[in-house]
Amino acid sequence: MANEATSARHAVVTGSSSGIGKAIAQALIDTGWAVTGLDLSAPAIEDPRFQPVRVDLADAGSLDAAAASLHGVDALVHAAGLLRLGALGSLDPGAGELMWRLHVDAASRLADALAGPMAEKGAGRIVFIGSRVAQGMAGRGQYAATKAALIALARSWAAELAPRGVTVNVVSPAATQTAMAQNPARSATAPKLPPIGRLILPEEVAGLVLYLLSPMAAAITGQDIQICGGSSLSR
């Protein structure tokens, strides 16, 4: 049954065609939200409350046009992402630029377009999907830098928006059971299992995002919340 508190609410979710983004979009739909999914890939969800918008999130012009068409948005969840590996001495500048455009520039453009209308009505939620790798990891420097940038953006924007009823947070999973983690190209650098003995599930990430978008999370802002399966315990 749809939750009456969220039945008329509208969320924009990037990367909604697979992995964490799809799990978040489906969880929102299942609890009564209307969802606009932004993704370059074909939609993987069929539901009357789901509106797919095909857009290259790494292309500034296309993304700005898509953002300008969005109205009545109550929440933004930027979940789209990709991983390109590269050790110092053999970095690929193109890969670094692509990850920056997708992770950081896309987040900036969407938040810039949508946060103002949220603040005008005195309520709104913004969640970025980060990564524990933001703390640094060998061979993932360029990726880590983009995810660390999301935390800095979230904290800065949270400070700007807190008095206006809009929260901004980051959810940072450890290795998650997605196609990206299971890519055969990563066989030499397979994700390390958290202490719980398995990968994090996309639905578990979606559950936390759903809470951060709820009225009960109105006092949580500017935070980087980790879903680590115990990985943080060794710090």
Instruction: List, in sequence order, every beta strand (DSSP E) within 62-214.
Output: 75-78, 124-129, 166-173
From 110, 150, 144, select the one nearest 128 (Cα to Cα). Answer: 150
Task: Establish whether 143 is a catalytic residue.
Answer: yes
Task: List the structure tokens of 179.
Answer: 């196609």
From 132, 207, 113, select the one nearest 175 (Cα to Cα). Answer: 132
Given 102, 143, 209, 229, the catalytic residue: 143
The pairing of beta strand 75-78 with beta strand 224-227: unpaired
From 18, 39, 12, select the one nearest 182 (Cα to Cα). Answer: 18
The alpha carbon torsion through 68, 16, 99, 137 (nearest 10 deg) reads: 140
Beta bridge partners of 126: 76, 168
Q: Tokens 């489906």 sit at which residue? A: 26
Q: Which amino acid is at 24?
A: I
Q: Which residues are catalytic?
A: 143
